[in-house]
Structures are given as C-alpha cells and as structure tokens.
Amino acid sequence: MQDKETKEMLADLVWLNAVIATELIQITENSSAILRKSPPPASCRAEHQALRETALAMAERYRPGTMLARHLGEHQ
C-alpha cells in the first residue's frame, strides 16, 4: 500500500511543480512587459511557450485531464 501512496504523492508533486513553473513563466512575462512597457521579445515568448509545453506534458503524464491545459491556453 505504501508504494502506491508514494507513487501518488510523487505524481501530485510533479503536477504541482508544473503548475508552479508555468505560473512563474507567466509572472516573468508579465513583469517584463510592465518594465519594458511592451511585450517581451518574440524569442523569449517562443522559448517560454516551449517550456510551458514541456511542463504541461509532464503534468499530463501524471495527472491527465486537469484544467492546466485550458488555463495555460488562456494565459496572455
């Protein structure tokens, strides 16, 4: 039983870390836009999108079907 509980806990932690990572990326983009008074450079936005997709893939592997994908689609 403990092995299953450990796997569930690790899956929860992977998912939670993916959420935190994607939110930090968004905070970074928003802060950059505020300081620059313009959007971040296109190269940064593209790299950030790739990082978001990687984090989302990890989250979906261990906790499929959460609202994280929809939430990330609404980030601007």
CA 65 to chain centre: 14
Taking residues 30-38, what's their average pLDDT? 93
The pTM is what? 0.81
Q: How many C-beta atoms surround the C-beta of residue 10 within 10 A?
A: 11
Taking residues 6-31, what's their average pLDDT? 93
Q: What is the pLDDT of residue 72?
A: 84
Q: Using an 8 Å Cβ cutoff, are 25 and 51 in contact? A: yes
Using alpha carbons, list the distances in angstroms from residue 73 to 5, 8, 26, 28, 35: 31, 26, 12, 17, 24
